A and B are shown apart, each in its own frame.
Chain A
Amino acid sequence: MFDTEVMTAVPAPALGARPQVPLELLGQQARPVTLSAERSLPVLDALAPLLPEGGLPRGVSVGVDGPGATSLALGLVAAASAAGSWTVVVGAPDLGLVAAAEAGLALARTVVVAPPPPDRWSTVVAALAESVEILLVSPVTRVRPTDLRRLATHLRTRGGVLVRLPGPGSWPEAPDIFLRTSHPGWRGAVPPDRLDGAGRLRARRLVVEATGRRRAARPRRLELWLPDAEGRPAPVVAADPTAPVAPPAPAAGWAHAV
């Protein structure tokens, strides 16, 4: 009796009148819930076009090379660091932390580890990869393939990102995402035939090419300011002369370095 009353209060939907949901949307709804933000770490807007889905996918290794590779590595992890991830730098005693702070790295969540001796390198990096989200690593020697596999497993389970800084060591395998810089051009210096050294290095324009595996396989190319006048990566805005990052007019201040 009671049941039937309820049944009449809520009319059952007619079978034919099912709402027309696009199949794609239905697929998204049926998928286990993993937000895109959970699968990738945030990056600065200026660097987003270089990366698949505009973020740093968790669990990957990133290689950087070319002039400005260190600045690129710092810029790459700056947004994630500012958003609350811890950053550990291993084996890069020359890394300029003032530049890192200017790039946007949160020094309050940055730890620097001195270069470990070669026999302990893998233990140290694996222990960190297990629990820290961002690793900036420069190996002292050639990394063994077994160590690299172990490292990759830790990165995938933890969801961290390992950035390979240029250094004396080498890696047995290419990284998941590889960023190569080229064509650096500094603004702000004066040519050597002038003695009025009134300028200063203000910004560098360079080209970054991204290649990689799997989702990052599509090659991408981007021209950007790295660093801009404040030390951060900034997009090259050709049409907008009021862009805050635009360096001074390139009249006498060009370093003919391209």
Chain B
Amino acid sequence: MVHVDAPARALVVQVPDWPVLAAGHDRSEPVVVVHANRVVAASTAARAMGVTLGLRRREAQRRCPDAVLVAADPARDARAFEPVVAALEAVTPRVEVTRPGAAAFTTRGPSRYHGGDEALGARVVEVLSAALARPGPVRVGVADGAFAASCAARPGGPPGPGEDPTSRAGDDDPVRVVTAGDAPAFLAPWPVQVAARHLGTPDAEGAADVLGRLGLRTLGALAQLPTPDVLARFGTDGVLLHRLARGLDPRPLATRRPAPELAVGAELDPPVERVNALAFRAVALADELHAHLGRDGRTCLRLAIEVETEHGELRRRSWRHEGGLTAAAVAERARWQLDGWLNGPAADRPTAGITRLLLDPEEVVAAQGRQRGFWGGETRIDEGAGRALARVAALLGTEAVTVPELRGGRGPSDRIGAMPAAAVDLGGERVVARPDAEGPWPGRLPAPSPALVFAQPAVVDLRDADDRPVGVGGRGLITAAPAHLGRHPVVGWAGPWPTEEHWWDPDRARRRARVQVVLADGTAHLLALEGGAWHLEGTYD
């Protein structure tokens, strides 16, 4: 008889050192990915020189002086992972992304179709190796429950005390299958910290720490304790760890799918084509969803984000976080997902704007203990500042509080984007420059940039000495030097900078020419000629 509480058999696939690969480096190059001065990922070559995770940046540089330092960027990791997950969907449609670089799915159907867990694992390795832009090892683990499977996907056996679990070479078979019912025995030698890390909450790490100090270092030792005693002594976090140690899912399986009315969606009219605009909507929706769930004292462990384009193209992706997904985390994942789709392989890109956004909680459990706040748990932004910003966002609306982002573009207004602050983890070392921000952008004005940039440029009248309107010819040459801006005499000018953008797309094509003028009172302005009219784009205040 099948135990009701038994976890579903799961397959976990991991691409080791994903942040290194996502940053466009090979694992054979010495590459160190750092966040807040700590190493969060390192290539094989860097690890061979003694770089371990959690090391200070300076120490890592000392051990491996040739290392290329890359700033951690979860958005980049997620963007690069999106095509990989899309490839995985050829094997099974129900893929969950645990984090960029790792995905999981239940094996019941696919395993039967492919003829067993081993065959399924081999197929996954084959598919992923083909989908990776750079060659890298892929590890697959199959076991009862996602936790045991993720342990099986790690190279080698359980790490010894103090050993970095990712530091092994792991040239053994990329697929490891733990037979049904063997999960507790398989997990017994693993340290409790591995389970805490799987839960991903600071509270769980704390509980694992306490257990370790009491001498309960391995999951096997923890599993032997009776459940009621663990609950009485260590609380909910202890029970979650205990359940993992016994080879169970941390929370009893939700026997039925959450009622569909929990899903929140929005029809977008006009269709949304920009990631940021979608993130704005996602924040609002995520807040709504959290209010719903919070009222019932529930939290969402797995959430599907579904976007549909005007042409009916559908992209649905499930995201999982054992600690529960906050509103900001949901919005961030929606942004990653769309970013990955828009910047993915050309053949898979959406051909029209997004018309529908749906947040569908797939796995909902009773909220246990403390929920992480609106601004995330491990933020290092001053807590008071975070609260003040959240309060202002509540007063003025989410759209009113934004954080800037540098992008590629030629005009000063094109080069700045605004992200809703609620959709961004302000605590981390935020990456403000998009990959295309540096260019080359021929026709871009060099520094200094105008200190005032007008969202709605006013139409102005620019004339030459003979009172004729100044124009810019087809070859990018100015017809006459400007002498009057309205009634102000022009004492100096520079330019023109002609630009022709999106000429291949009749709807977005823009031809502009910019000039700088200095007026008699010493003020300087940036003017743009478009469609026969000059506009005041900015002022060098």
Contact = CB atoms under 8 A, between A and B. Distances in A.
B50 interface: no
B404 A97 contact: yes
Contacts of B540: 68, 71, 186, 201, 204
A189 B392 CA distance: 43
Nearest to B453: A96
Nearest to B478: A197
A230 B448 CA distance: 6
Contacts of B452: 70, 94-96
Contacts of B517: 189
Nearest to B490: A192
A114 B399 contact: yes
Chain B: interface size category: 35 or more
Contact of B451 (A71, A108, A114): A71
Interface stretch (A23-31, A37-45, A54-62, A127-135): A127-135
B40 to A, nearest CB: 17
Given A185-B522, A186-B522, A131 B387 contact: yes
B64 to A, nearest CB: 26
A111 B389 contact: yes
Contacts of A114: 396, 399-402
B479 to A, nearest CB: 9
Contacts of A229: 447-448
B385 A132 contact: yes
B389 A257 contact: no
Given A68-B541, A189-B494, A201 B396 contact: no
Nearest to A101: B406
Interface stretch (A7-15, A116-124, A171-179): A116-124
Interface string B396-438: 1001111111100000100110100100001001111000000
B494 A200 contact: yes
A67 B538 contact: no
A237 interface: no
B541 A71 contact: yes
Contact of A94 (B392, B401, B455): B455
Given A98-B406, A131-B384, A189 B400 contact: no
A189 B492 contact: yes
Contact of B496 (A101, A102, A197): A197
A50 interface: no
A183 B522 CA distance: 7
Interface of B: 381-382, 384-385, 387-389, 391-392, 395-396, 399-406, 412, 415-416, 418, 421, 426, 429-432, 445-455, 465, 478, 480-483, 490-496, 515-524, 538, 540-541
Interface of A: 67-71, 74, 86, 88, 93-102, 107-108, 110-114, 116, 120, 123-124, 127-128, 130-132, 166, 183-186, 188-195, 197, 199-204, 206, 227-231, 254-258
